[in-house]
């Protein structure tokens, strides 16, 4: 007897998938947990390489697990893929920090995917429908992450006693999130280009600035983190359909 399929999608999304000729097979899952040592930060601005390396290793592990599960199920695509990432001290051994990453989606049999390559997409079924109608197809997840240690705000004696009472931009600290974003975005676009994407849609990002290191002599330091995820898309050469849109009033 054939086993029942399990999907993360709801009934409306399911009907959309079936209408597109995409059959859900089973939920697929990948997870990775790592402990990294609490870095003693240097006195200069730099990448938090230990965390960056760990993030990308975890991402690789999660993607490999998702692909392996999809492979076992003979699925040629994964849709509605959600990625969660968190760092915590809770449950970590002394002197370490825990990093947790989890990837969950629905493995599908997509009759429109004629390439030998399996895709992983963060798109929902409705979004896939829109993409297919417009002549696009998902080709992979695009993820970018950066942890950047920014040393900032060296107190300058010339600012005078009332200096800190004035409105002013903290230029060095502004540079931290900027750099983190640039690196995360570059990595995300690199990943999209590697899987043959012409663009990335529905990018979601998460950023944080957390003080760290020494506050001696008016020097301030912060770890700036930026994570981005989107779906890389490419044109479907076989599609000749065009989207037709008209104004409509929805009656709830």
Write out the residues near another protein by the rule CB under 8 A: 12, 123, 126-128, 130-131, 133-134, 164-170, 173-179, 181-183, 185-186, 188-189, 192-193, 197-205, 207, 209-211, 230, 243, 245-252
Spatial contact of 233 and 139, defined as CB atoms under 8 Å apart: yes
Distance of closest approach, residue 78 Cβ to another protein, in angstroms: 16
3-state DSSP assignment of residue 205: strand
Among residues 72 and 194, whose Cβ is nearest to another protein?
A: 194
Calpha distance 27→4 (Å, rounded)? 11
Distance of closest approach, residue 27 Cβ to another protein, in angstroms: 22
Distance of closest approach, residue 233 Cβ to another protein, in angstroms: 9
Among residues 64 and 174, whose Cβ is nearest to another protein?
A: 174
Q: What are phi and psi of 92, to 5 degrees?
A: -85, 145
Round to the nearest angstrom and report the end-to-end CA distance of the chain: 42
Distance of closest approach, residue 60 Cβ to another protein, in angstroms: 22
Distance of closest approach, residue 58 Cβ to another protein, in angstroms: 23
Distance of closest approach, residue 210 Cβ to another protein, in angstroms: 8
Among residues 8 and 175, whose Cβ is nearest to another protein?
A: 175
Residue 94: count other Cβ atoms within 10 Å of its Cβ.
6
Calpha distance 161→234 (Å, rounded)? 58
Among residues 189 and 236, whose Cβ is nearest to another protein?
A: 189
Distance of closest approach, residue 189 Cβ to another protein, in angstroms: 6
Among residues 66 and 192, whose Cβ is nearest to another protein?
A: 192
Calpha distance 157→164 (Å, rounded)? 11
Spatial contact of 25 and 75, defined as CB atoms under 8 Å apart: yes
Structure tokens at 239: 């599609």
Among residues 31 and 134, whose Cβ is nearest to another protein?
A: 134
Structure tokens at 233: 């898309």
Dihedral angle sign, alpha carbons of residues 47, 225, 87, 93: positive
Calpha distance 179→143 (Å, rounded)? 16
Among residues 10 and 86, whose Cβ is nearest to another protein?
A: 10
Label residue 134 exposed, middle or buried (CB < 10 Å: 0-12, 13-18, 19+).
Answer: middle
């Amino acid at each position: 007897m054939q086993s029942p399929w399990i999907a993360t999608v709801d009934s409306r999304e399911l009907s959309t998938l079936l209408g597109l000729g995409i059959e859900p097979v089973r939920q697929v899952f990948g997870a990775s947990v790592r402990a990294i040592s609490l870095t003693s930060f240097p006195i200069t601005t730099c990448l938090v390489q230990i965390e960056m390396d760990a993030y990308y290793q975890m991402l690789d592990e999660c993607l490999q697990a998702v692909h392996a599960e999809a492979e076992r199920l003979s699925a040629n695509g994964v849709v509605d893929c959600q990625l969660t990432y968190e760092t915590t001290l809770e449950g970590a051994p002394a002197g370490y920090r825990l990093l947790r990453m989890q990837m969950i989606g629905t493995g599908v049999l997509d009759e429109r995917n004629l390439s030998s390559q399996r895709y992983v997409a963060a798109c929902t079924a409705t979004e896939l429908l829109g993409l297919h109608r417009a002549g696009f197809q998902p080709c992979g997840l695009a993820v970018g992450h950066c942890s950047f240690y920014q040393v900032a705000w060296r107190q300058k004696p010339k600012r005078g006693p009332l200096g800190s009472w004035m409105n002013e931009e903290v230029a060095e600290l502004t540079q931290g999130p900027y750099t983190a974003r640039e690196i995360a975005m570059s990595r995300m676009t690199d990943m999209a280009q590697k899987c043959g994407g012409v663009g990335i849609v529905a990018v979601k990002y998460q950023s944080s600035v957390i003080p760290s290191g020494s506050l001696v002599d008016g020097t301030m330091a912060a770890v700036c983190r930026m994570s981005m995820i989107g779906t890389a898309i490419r044109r479907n050469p076989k599609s000749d359909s065009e989207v037709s849109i008209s104004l409509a009033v929805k009656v709830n």
